[in-house]
Structure 1
Amino acid sequence: MTRLSIRHETLYTYERPVSFAPHRLLVRPRDSHAIRVVDALLTVSPPGEMRWMYDALGNSVCSFTPQGESTSLSIVSELVIERYPAPLAKLQVADPQTANPIVYAPADRAVLAPFIEPVTEDPDGALLEWLRARAGGTYEPALNFLLRLNRTIHAEFEYQWRDIGGAQEPSHTVQLGSGTCRDFAWLMVEALRRLGYAARFVTGYLYSPGHDGVRGAGATHAWCEVFLPELGWTEFDPTNALAESADLIPVAVARTPAEAAPISGAIFGDGGESNLTVEVDVRPADPLPAAA
């Protein structure tokens, strides 16, 4: 078990005062067998009405409506969590249906259908051509193929940090040969869907002591989850070639990157020039006090 402290600060500033529409916050993990939320504090300015709920995918969502007008909006999430790793290396998948092409049980397929259907277009066939050159043969174990594709994206594409904007279209990422973590995650998700895999987009945090050789540390992070018989939803981070790593701290899952944005909302009025600053710090938390 790893005990971690997470601080995620988001600050919007405007030239002139604006008022605010409701904002959707995805900044708190849901408690599970893999993550336990020990402490959570959400500090906002200006203040406003908050309401917590679970969305259709089980994400913990805060609906927040800032009150009045302001030239800034500050949202600070502070968490203490316990992360319980489930290493992938020792797991053996014996199910013969867990090989290319992937086959899901009917009951699973009914639930997984929205995550199997591709969302993006590939008008020039760039994504499909790239994928066909890297797809494994029939009967290759699905887990082996996924680990190989995860490593391939990490090795072939140049990481370029980008703090604003949504994820690139996967075909565009293939043509550019570069992107950021959300671009690589979205590329893997949409590529796998074209092969019949159920895949979803994940956002959260990355624990990276020292940040040495790690891409995407110091900010929110994104990766891919794939559903496999016998293993369930399994994490793959093509940005860093990680799989089921305890360093990945999931907060939200979604069908598309836009649905997994940590903070989304709108303003009313002409605020003039605006600026967005995001800072994320993940570090070991103070140990629990010893029992008396």
Structure 2
Amino acid sequence: MARLCIRHETLYTYERPVRFAAHRLLVRPRDSHATRVVDAHLTLSPPGETRWLYDAMGNSVCIFAPGGEGRSLSIVSDLTIERFPAPLLRRDIADPQTVTPIVYAASDRAVLAPFIDPVSEDTDGHLLAWLRDKIGSPREPALDFLLRLNRTIRADFEYLARDLGAAQEPSHTVSVGSGTCRDFAWLMVEALRRLGYAARFVTGYLYSPATASGAVRGAGATHAWCEVFLPELGWTEFDPTNALAESPDLIPVAMTRTPAEAAPVSGAIYGDGGDSELTVHVDVRPAESIPAAA
């Protein structure tokens, strides 16, 4: 078991005062057998009403309606969590044994269908051409293929940090040969869907003591990766940015069908605020490294 403290700060600033529509916050993990939320606290400015709900994917969502008007909107999430990660089991998957076609039980497929159909376009065929080149022997076990694809994306694509903006289309990521964590996660999700796998986009945090050495890409910030549903293994995590699989350093917050649905903070303003700026800072560290209050 590992206990971690996570501080996620989001600050919007505006040139002129504005009013705020309700904002949707995806910053709190849902308790599970792998993650327990010990403490969670939101500091919000301007203050306003909050209510909590579970969305259609089962994610824990806070609806925040700031009151009044102002030239800034500050959202600070402080979490203390305990992680109980289980290592990836290297076991044979009896059905299916091959990369393609993968076969799900009828009862599973009814639930998994939204995560099997591709969402992105591949007009020029760049994604499909890249994917065909990665498919190995038809006898390659599904788990071996997924681990190999996970490593391939890590090795073949250049990591370029990009704090703002939507995820690139997978075909564009293939064309330019570079991207950030959300681009690589979305590439893997959409590539696997074209082979019949159920895959979903995951956003959360990444912690690793190797961060200082630069060995881990994307740690200490919001992070994104891929989950794939496998018979006998269930939803299994793959982080193509770092070639990690079922890693204790991955801290999931939200699972979605597309990256657009996974924004940690989303909302709107009323009025002309003029020039605006967004600043985001995330700090993930072991709980024992946090000084005790005086």
TM-score range normalised by the length of the shorter chain: over 0.9
Whether 1:14 and 2:14 are equivalent positions in the alignment is yes
Measure the CA separation in 1 of the matches of 2:224 and 2:140. 27
Instruction: State the match for 2:132 in structure 1.
Output: 132
Scaled by the length of structure 1, what TM-score is found?
0.96
Q: Which amino acid aligns with 1:215?
A: R
Distance change in 2, residues 1:168/1:47 (3 Å): same
Whether the 8 Å contact between 1:29 and 1:252 is mirrored in structure 2 is: yes
Q: Deviations for 1:234-255, whole angstroms, at most 9, x for unmatched residues? A: 0000000000000000000000
Task: Pick which of 132-141 and 75-84 moved more.
Answer: 132-141
Which segments of structure 1 move beyond 2 Å, counting only runs of 4 or more? none
Whether the 8 Å contact between 2:20 and 2:69 is mirrored in structure 1 is: yes
Whether the 8 Å contact between 1:98 and 1:228 is mirrored in structure 2 is: no
Instruction: State the match for 1:93 in structure 2.
Output: 92
> Which consecutive unaligned segments of at least 5 residues does structure 1 have?
288-292
Give 1:228's match in structure 2, choosing from 230, 245, 267: 230
Whether the 8 Å contact between 2:96 and 2:142 is mirrored in structure 1 is: no
Q: 1:239 aligns to what SS in structure 2?
A: coil
Q: Deviations for 1:142-169, whole angstroms, at most 9, x for unmatched residues? A: 0000000000000000000001101000
Q: Deviations for 1:183-225, whole angstroms, at most 9, x for unmatched residues? A: 0000000000000000000000001225121111221000000
Measure the CA separation in 2 of the matches of 1:66 and 1:151. 43
Measure the CA separation in 2 of the matches of 1:201 and 1:94. 23
Whether the 8 Å contact between 1:42 and 1:75 is mirrored in structure 2 is: yes
- 1:157-176 superposed matches below 5 A: 157-176=157-176
Measure the CA separation in 2 of the matches of 1:91 and 1:209. 25
Give 1:282's match in structure 2, choosing from 273, 281, 284: 284
Whether the 8 Å contact between 1:26 and 1:260 is mirrored in structure 2 is: yes
Measure the CA separation in 1 of the matches of 2:261 and 2:108. 23
Q: 1:251 aligns to what SS in structure 2?
A: strand
Scaled by the length of structure 2, what TM-score is found?
0.96
Give the number of aligned pairs.
286
Measure the CA separation in 2 of the matches of 1:163 and 1:105. 40
Instruction: State the match for 2:271 in structure 1.
Output: 269
Measure the CA separation in 1 of the matches of 2:47 and 2:137. 56
Deviation at 1:135, TM superposition (A): 1.2
Q: 2:134 aligns to what SS in structure 1?
A: coil
Q: Which amino acid aligns with 1:278?
A: V
Task: Pick which of 227-236 and 95-104 moved more.
Answer: 95-104
Instruction: State the match for 1:290 in structure 2.
Output: none
Measure the CA separation in 1 of the matches of 2:255 and 2:162. 21
Deviation at 1:84, TM superposition (A): 0.6
Give 1:244's match in structure 2, choosing from 243, 246, 252: 246
Measure the CA separation in 1 of the matches of 2:13 and 2:167. 23
Q: Deviations for 1:55-105, whole angstroms, at most 9, x for unmatched residues? A: 1111000001111111000000000000011101x4312413142221100
Q: 1:127 aligns to what SS in structure 2?
A: helix
Whether the 8 Å contact between 2:95 and 2:103 is mirrored in structure 1 is: no
Q: 1:162 aligns to what SS in structure 2?
A: coil
Task: Pick which of 116-125 and 278-287 moved more.
Answer: 278-287
Whether the 8 Å contact between 2:208 and 2:216 is mirrored in structure 1 is: yes
Measure the CA separation in 1 of the matches of 2:118 and 2:96. 22
Whether 1:151 and 2:167 are equivalent positions in the alignment is no
Q: Alignment identity in percent? A: 77
Whether the 8 Å contact between 1:93 and 1:230 is mirrored in structure 2 is: no
Distance change in 2, residues 1:201/1:94 (3 Å): closer
Instruction: State the match for 2:216 in structure 1.
Output: 214
- 1:46-65 superposed matches below 5 A: 46-65=46-65
- 1:199-210 superposed matches below 5 A: 199-210=199-210
Measure the CA separation in 2 of the matches of 1:59 and 1:119. 21
Measure the CA separation in 2 of the matches of 1:192 and 1:183. 14
Instruction: Output the aligned Cα RMSD.
Output: 1.0
Whether the 8 Å contact between 2:7 and 2:282 is mirrored in structure 1 is: yes
Measure the CA separation in 1 of the matches of 2:93 and 2:155. 29
Q: Which amino acid aligns with 1:151?
A: R
Deviation at 1:34, TM superposition (A): 0.3
